[in-house]
A and B are shown apart, each in its own frame.
Chain A
């Protein structure tokens, strides 16, 4: 794994093809799914030529497995998201069918993007399971499952809405969690409205196609006006059909936004992890404090804290000094253990905060760069659309002028 530090510079990864497959599943039913071809090329130093080193097929669920594994083993990393499982934020002409070729194509690009993101991440790129994902077709699923990562997973991370009363969270993470919630909300809103805008724009362009037909019919009864009308009508048809390509391009912009919508979730997961660690730490500290208190009370004979033992003692009679000694001993052991645990938890917590924040800073810069690029390309798309509009109407105007 020594070469993995500079993966992207030496390796080229691409998801080059998608193929529909039908197979009989565990319940002996026909299942159709799409498989994606992942090709890895190694770039030779000397002549810059790339040589195909690995090529295998994976389906979406395997990508999901990979990501879930990464989430468990790298909780302090903002793990790149996968493209959406089902088509959402669709406007009426866009298919919501997972088998639709346009959807498959956009997903292929999204999956490639995911792999490139992981491969260019300074820490994730070194992961063995990731390496095997790209190189070992058979048995990979078994290998991942053998890591036992599902057992390591903190189920509480899935319970997104459960609140944990944390007394001293790192404020940066609290703020970041708010930010990721708001980012999710605003990008969802944006994508929903954009889909409606696309729908309406489509309508406007398509109705102009009707001009083409009626101008043609009208030109039939005219003498001098006929030619001008007829050719103008043709331009109206061109105008009407131009919207299909325009909106297809815009889908790429929507996909870029979606990636960050899903990234917001990943960001939230890291904040959540910190919250949970902090919670566990505070609980452990609390538990330790109460045990110490208990110990003290047992030693001095005063009962200030409620304990089950205390209650049962009251109900069933006093305990013997030997019993008390035994209990103190047990507590002291527990306290020792507890102090060790607290120390290590504290250390873990601080390590986590340090590493997580480093990755978050990296992520922020990436996000700002990427989204700026996305906005620029969106503006460029709009400019192109305006220029096309000007062209078509100028042509039509010329035809009208010849009437």
Chain B
């Protein structure tokens, strides 16, 4: 890093998942007006997924890397003290124990917003964001289910292929002149099976987790929207109360001013973050979907190569090589 707050240009530290979880909580606490990127799923059903398998660890690593990159790219979050400590401290646990709650000015004030106030109506732009997030999460959920279904069907197809290929081998053992061609077809199907397995592994490891992350992202964003609503509700309620009390007019009491300030900051932060999020989302999905297309193209290219290479073998004229069976 070339930033001033960091003492050294480079750091290397070891962190566990729970450290990341701690960081995220701290960020939510200290920067409640901002959209905090999601972490990969916390709980893993024991017995279903092997928490120590290479694939699982690698998938998680990529997700955690993405998490840190998103924070790094954020103009406000990247300056967060907790984040700094996370990246540099040799002994993070000691720091955690200190229970330091570094709240920004806004954070401090938002923390104390009472949740008793009900918002009459969301301003149009935030209502639109809310609706968008709802539909977005819904569509992503559908895509997740479709992707899972495709992987399931592909695996079932793979099971059959793995039985299909060897039958050609069995047949080949009965034949003379046809032995090589049949064996060739068997090997070919074997290669296609391997290619298919690679495709399903890739989709499981690279495609599904990113989808799920975005669904979690949308969920956490919706809660931030709700918090914003609360801030606005409090402001409006207090403003109304003041309007009814004729003594303080025309001067608006500092209390109400603070509320207004809070609300306007929140709105500004949120709007800026939404724009940034939309942009990143577009790039992320562009990359994700292009990646999906790519993997399918690679699968078909591998199969194509296998079948094309066998054509000359099939067309070969056997010069009485074998006894005609």
Residues of A within 8 A of B (CB): 179, 182-183, 186-187, 189-190, 193-194, 196-197, 199-201, 203-204, 207-208, 210-211, 214, 217-218, 221, 224-225, 228, 232, 361, 364-365, 368, 371-372, 375-376, 378-380, 382-383, 386-387, 389-390, 393-394, 396-397, 400-401, 403
Classify the interface of chain A: helix, strand, loop or mixed.
helix
Chain B residues whose C-beta falls within 8 Å of the C-beta of A365 in the assembled complex: 324
How far, in whole Å, are A386 and B199 apart by their CA atoms in the complex? 14
How far, in whole Å, are A381 and B304 apart by their CA atoms in the complex? 11
Chain B stretch 133-149: residues in CB contact (< 8 A) with chain A:
135-136, 139, 142-143, 146, 149
A-B contact pairs, 12 of them (CB 8 A): A190-B164, A190-B167, A200-B160, A204-B153, A214-B139, A217-B139, A225-B285, A371-B178, A372-B178, A372-B181, A376-B311, A390-B297
Classify the interface of chain B: helix, strand, loop or mixed.
helix
Given A207-B146, A386-B304, A393-B297, are A401 and B160 neighbors across the interface (CB < 8 Å)? no
Q: Which of A201, A211, A379, A389 has its CB near the most chain B CB atoms (within 10 A)? A: A379
How far, in whole Å, are A190 and B170 apart by their CA atoms in the complex? 10
- Closest Cβ of chain B to A265, distance in Å, is 16
Contact A389 B300 (CB under 8 A): yes
Q: Name the one of B182, B282, B300, B325 contacting A224, with C-beta atoms under 8 angstroms.
A: B282
Q: Which of B182, B185, B285 has its CB near the most chain A CB atoms (within 10 A)? A: B285
Q: Name the one of A186, A193, A228, A364 contacting B324, with C-beta atoms under 8 angstroms.
A: A364
Chain B residues whose C-beta falls within 8 Å of the C-beta of A201 in the assembled complex: 157
Chain A residues whose C-beta falls within 8 Å of the C-beta of B310 in the assembled complex: 379
Chain B stretch 144-172: residues in CB contact (< 8 A) with chain A:
146, 149-150, 153-154, 156-157, 159-161, 163-164, 167-168, 170-171
Which residue of the partner chain B has the closest CB to A208? B150
Q: What is the 8 Å Cβ interface bit string for chain B, positions 293-307, against chain A (1 contact, 0 not)?
A: 110110111011001
Contact B297 A394 (CB under 8 A): yes
How far, in whole Å, are A91 and B299 apart by their CA atoms in the complex? 25
How far, in whole Å, are A194 and B166 apart by their CA atoms in the complex? 12
Contact A376 B139 (CB under 8 A): no
How far, in whole Å, are A401 and B287 apart by their CA atoms in the complex? 8
Supply 14 further A-B pairs (C-beta < 8 A) apart from A190-B164, A368-B325: A179-B174, A186-B170, A187-B171, A193-B167, A203-B153, A204-B153, A210-B149, A221-B135, A389-B296, A393-B300, A394-B297, A396-B289, A397-B294, A400-B293
Chain A residues whose C-beta falls within 8 Å of the C-beta of B273 in the assembled complex: none
Contact B300 A386 (CB under 8 A): yes
Chain A residues whose C-beta falls within 8 Å of the C-beta of B185 in the assembled complex: 375, 378-379
Q: Which of A187, A224, A380, A382 has its CB near the most chain B CB atoms (within 10 A)? A: A382
Is the C-beta of B177 less than 8 angstroms from some C-beta in chain A? yes
**Top 3 A-B pairs ranked by shortest CB distance?**
A397-B293, A200-B157, A386-B304
Contact A203 B156 (CB under 8 A): yes
Contact B297 A379 (CB under 8 A): no
Chain A residues whose C-beta falls within 8 Å of the C-beta of B182 in the assembled complex: 375
Is the C-beta of B7 less than 8 angstroms from some C-beta in chain A? no
Chain B residues whose C-beta falls within 8 Å of the C-beta of A364 in the assembled complex: 324-325
Is the C-beta of B315 less than 8 angstroms from some C-beta in chain A? yes
Contact B143 A214 (CB under 8 A): yes
Which residue of the partner chain A has the closest CB to B281? A225
Chain A residues whose C-beta falls within 8 Å of the C-beta of B174 in the assembled complex: 179, 182-183, 186
How far, in whole Å, are A211 and B142 apart by their CA atoms in the complex? 9
